[in-house]
Each structure stands twice: as C-alpha cells, then as structure tokens.
C-alpha cells in the first residue's frame, strides 16, 4: 500500500518537472528544431515535418515523402525523443504521423518512512496520426487520431482521442492561417489495484489544446524571409504565444530566431541534396529554460525523397 501511494505521488510530481500539472505536460514543450527555433510556432507553416503535432491539416499538399527524427537535451535528467513521417498520397491529400517519447532518468521510489526501495522506470509516449485534404482552392482540412500511453514501474495508463484542423493558404501574398483543436476526449486512468491488491485509482484528464497560427513569406530577390506567429491555449493554463523568423541567405542555409513564454530561442539549419534524395537537412536549436535551468538543445535530421 505504501509503495502504491508513492507510485501515484511520483506520477503527479513528474508533471512538475516538465512544467506543471500532469506528466503529459511535456507535450506542450513542442517538437522539431525548426519550429522550436521559431518560438514553438507551426500552426500555419506549410511543408512542415511535424505537421501532425502542430496542425493535422498541414500535411495536405506536402509534395514529398519525408522522415524526420531528433532529440532534445534537457536538464534534470529529462529525455525527449521525437520522429515524424509525412507524405502526399494524391493530388491535394496527405498523411503524417509524429511520435514523441519522454522519460526522466533515475526516479527513486521510497516508502512513507523515506526508505529507498529502488529506481522506477518511467516513460510517456504520444502518437499523432493525421490525414488532410484540400477541400477548395485555398482551404485545407485535416483530422487526427491521437494516442498517449504513460508508464511508471508496472503501472500503465493509455488513452486515445481526436484532433482536427483547418489551414487557409494564399499564394499572392504568400500568407497562411491555421486553426487546430487537439487532445480531444482524452483521459488517463491510473489503477494500481491489480498490481498491489489494494492500491489507488486516479483519473487524469488530458487538457485539450486550441492553436491558431499565421505564416508569411516574402522574397528579397532570391532570398526568402518567413515570419510566423502562433497563439495557443490548453484548458488548465493561460494563453501562450510565440513569434519567429527564418532567413535564408543561401539556399543551403537557414537562420532562425524566436520568442515564446518570455524565453528566446535561436537556431540554424543546413540542407543539401544527396543522390536521389531531394533534400537532407540537419537542424540545431537552443531554447532558454525557466526557473534558472540550463538551456534546452535540440538536434534533428530530415530526409526527403
């Protein structure tokens, strides 16, 4: 019983490490070195590898098959890995899937007397699948299926839900608007009764997320400059916003900077062509953290065919 009590207590406290509230709060940290450098904005950016996470409708008209993967290097033993796949499947239609894995290293288990009982394995995985289609000339609609599974020692909880999004893309000027609602109808139920005989049941609602974004691209001769901005809200927190800019002085080089939640970010991306691959890109980003923690570093790679 003592151990069961502390399992539930640690589940709650892990959320504090990642930001506040539930352990799935790591989902609000964002994914992808490019989007994090742009202030965690991606609600309206087209041709984005991480579209299933930011806006399900953005996978339509993707125009290429791409695979991406990366890692976030965080303080306090936190670990976040992520990967994504996106592809156009027909004219104006596309699919995508994004996977995010999170864990905290060396979580100690103690009884009510403070005696050390070992190290607990913990992890949380989230999968975002999306399908999108151009419904009229400039309007794209998408639907997403989402799954979250969280494990701590031998206690596991999972839940599935829905997401949906709209994107309106103009060509002249090159301006896009996006709206997405995600994590709908999701709730984790933690139950340690079967493991300990007498445990505790705890229901954990996953906050829904509403995101609105815009992106604008202007060319100075052959040099593109993109500006992006997002505003998002999940139902137990204040409204957040992010701004970002991307400048490409060379076709192979992108320089990025952004700002969100009173924290600056910056990054760089390098891309080239290798054989039959249309693009292969490597991105790096640094993001300032709160509470005096060391900055967060992200590295990812994207391969398009």
Predicted confidence band at 117 (pLDDT cuts at 50, 70, 90)?
low
Q: What does each C-alpha distance from 13 to 22, 23, 193, 198, 292 come to in angstroms?
A: 8, 8, 20, 22, 19
More confident residue, 140 or 155: 140
- Could you tell me which CATH class the domain 2-304 is placed in? mainly beta
Predicted confidence band at 5 (pLDDT cuts at 50, 70, 90)?
very low
For residue 295, the model assigns a pLDDT of: 93
Predicted confidence band at 25 (pLDDT cuts at 50, 70, 90)?
low
For residue 99, the model assigns a pLDDT of: 96
Residue 17 has pLDDT above 60, yes or no: no
Query: What distance in Å separates the CA atoms of residue 255 and residue 76, rounded to the nearest whole number?
Result: 29
Residue 2 has pLDDT above 60, yes or no: no
Residue 278 has pLDDT above 80, yes or no: no
Q: What does each C-alpha distance from 248 to 143, 268, 272 come to in angstroms?
A: 32, 10, 13
Instruction: Please check whether residue 284 is in contact with residue 33, taking contact to mean a CB–CB distance below 8 angstroms.
Output: yes
Q: Tokens for 44? A: 């309206």
pTM of the model: 0.85
For residue 217, the model assigns a pLDDT of: 95
Q: Tokens for 246? A: 């991307």
Residues 6 or more apart whose CB falls under 8 angstroms from that of 63 comprise: 47, 88
Q: Any idea where the domains of the chain sit in the sequence?
A: 2-304
Average model confidence (pLDDT) across the chain: 84
Predicted confidence band at 14 (pLDDT cuts at 50, 70, 90)?
very low
Residue 109 has pLDDT above 60, yes or no: yes
């Amino acid at each position: 019983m003592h151990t069961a009590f502390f399992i539930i207590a640690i589940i709650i406290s892990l959320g504090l490490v990642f930001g506040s509230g539930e352990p799935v709060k790591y989902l609000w940290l964002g994914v992808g070195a490019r989007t994090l450098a742009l202030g965690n904005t991606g609600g309206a950016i087209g041709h984005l590898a991480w579209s299933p996470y930011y806006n399900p409708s953005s996978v339509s008209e993707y125009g290429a098959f791409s695979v991406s993967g990366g890692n976030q290097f965080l303080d306090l033993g936190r670990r976040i890995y992520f990967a994504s796949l996106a592809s156009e499947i027909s004219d104006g239609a596309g699919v995508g899937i994004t996977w995010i894995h999170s864990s905290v290293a060396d979580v100690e288990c103690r009884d009510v007397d403070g005696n050390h009982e070992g190290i607990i394995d913990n992890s949380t995985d989230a999968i975002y699948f999306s399908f999108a289609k151009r419904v009229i000339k400039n309007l794209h609609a998408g639907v997403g299926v989402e799954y979250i599974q969280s494990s701590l020692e031998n206690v596991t909880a999972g839940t599935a839900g829905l997401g949906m999004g709209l994107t309106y893309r103009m060509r002249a000027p090159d301006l896009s608007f996006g709206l997405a609602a995600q994590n709908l109808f999701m709730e984790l139920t933690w139950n340690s009764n079967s493991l300990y005989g007498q445990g505790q049941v705890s229901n954990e609602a996953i906050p829904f997320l509403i995101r609105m974004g815009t992106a604008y691209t202007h060319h100075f001769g052959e040099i593109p400059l993109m500006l992006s901005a997002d505003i998002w809200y999940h139902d137990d927190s204040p409204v957040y916003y992010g701004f970002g800019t991307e400048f490409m002085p060379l076709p192979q080089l992108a320089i990025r900077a952004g700002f969100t939640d009173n924290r600056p970010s910056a990054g760089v991306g390098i891309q080239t062509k290798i054989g039959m691959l249309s693009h292969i890109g490597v991105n790096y980003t640094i993001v300032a953290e709160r509470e005096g923690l060391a900055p967060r570093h992200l590295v990812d790679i994207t391969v398009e065919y």
